[in-house]
Structure 1
Amino acid sequence: MDGREIRNCMGRFATGVTIVTCDTEEGTHGLTANSFTSVSLDPPLVLVSVDKKTKALKRLKKNCFTVNILREEQQDVAMHFAGRPLAVPPFDWEEGTLCNRLKDTLAYIECEPWAEYDGGDHILYVGKVQDFKYNEGNPLGYYCGKFSAVVTKSV
């Protein structure tokens, strides 16, 4: 199968955009991820899928992490952590319960490591939720390889 065509097909599934952050002895690190999902409510578990070629992979291994869900106006933050850092970072850090997180996101979910699985060319990190908070606003979306608005309507 053609990997590019598989990617194009999977890109038809619209997702939100997150920054996964963790602390190490070298400081706080983050990576942009749209492969994120809730797994369980009891116990509360989430999953993040990380490419094995990503520098941040070893930093997440057996480490607490925070999933920061981005607002629609935080595209520059997503690009910063996707390997296109800006000279002046477009975000501020704030101290979390388990590790530093991004300030002013739509939501954050702080996790302790729960399990780790081989997922082909990715590693699947499952975290047990220890703390979370969400705010009002619109999420940053990702569709067909591009950032996208997510239209929210009142019912």
Structure 2
Amino acid sequence: MNTREFRYCMGCFATGVTVVTCDTGDGYHGLTANSFTSVSLNPPLVLVSIDRKTKALEYLKNNAFTINILADHQGDLAMHFAGRPKEDLEINWVQGDQAPRLEDSLAFIECVPWKEYDGGDHVLYLGEVTNFKYRDGNALTYFKGQFSSLPYTTK
């Protein structure tokens, strides 16, 4: 199978953009991820898929983490935590009950480790949700290699 073409095919699925954050003991760390989903309401579980090649893989092992769902104005944060930092970018951290989070995200979901699974070239981390909060606003989305915005409308 042509993995590049498979990746392009998967890019046809529009996703939200998240930054997964945790405390490494030596400071706060984050990584951009769009492979994120809700798994269960009872117990409340979410899943994030992390590439085995990233440094953050070991940071998340048996460690609390926060999924920060980004608002449409947070593209610079997404790029920063994807390994393309901007020198003048100000990152405002908030210490949560279990793990740090990014200030001004559209939503955050704080988790304690539940299980991890082999996912081929990724590791699937399931977290049990201990705290969450969301607000109105437009979501940052990712489609075919480009950031976009999903506008919020009231019913």
Shorter-chain TM range is over 0.9
Residue of structure 1 equivalent to 2:82: 82
Write the distance in 2 (CA, Å) between the matches of 1:153 and 1:66: 26
After TM superposition, the runs of 4+ consecutive aligned structure 1 residues lying more than 6 A away are none
- Give the C-alpha shift of residue 145 in structure 1: 1.0
The residue matched to 1:4 in structure 2 has which SS?
helix
Residue of structure 2 equivalent to 1:108: 108
C-alpha distance after superposition, 1:26-58 (max 9, x if no partner): 110000000000000000000000000011111
After TM superposition, the score normalised by the length of structure 2 is 0.97
Match of 1:146, as an amino acid? Q
C-alpha distance after superposition, 1:6-26 (max 9, x if no partner): 001110100000000000111
C-alpha distance after superposition, 1:102-134 (max 9, x if no partner): 001000000000000000000000000000000
After TM superposition, the score normalised by the length of structure 1 is 0.97
Residue of structure 1 equivalent to 2:51: 51
- Give the C-alpha shift of residue 100 in structure 1: 1.2
On the 8 A contact 1:30/1:56 being kept in 2, the answer is yes
Residue of structure 1 equivalent to 2:38: 38
Show structure 1 runs of 5+ residues with no match: none
Aligned-residue CA RMSD (Å): 0.9
On the 8 A contact 1:140/1:147 being kept in 2, the answer is yes
Q: Percent identity?
A: 62
Show structure 2 runs of 5+ residues with no match: none
Aligned residues: 155
Write the distance in 2 (CA, Å) between the matches of 1:50 and 1:14: 18
The residue matched to 1:79 in structure 2 has which SS?
helix
Write the distance in 2 (CA, Å) between the matches of 1:90 and 1:67: 19
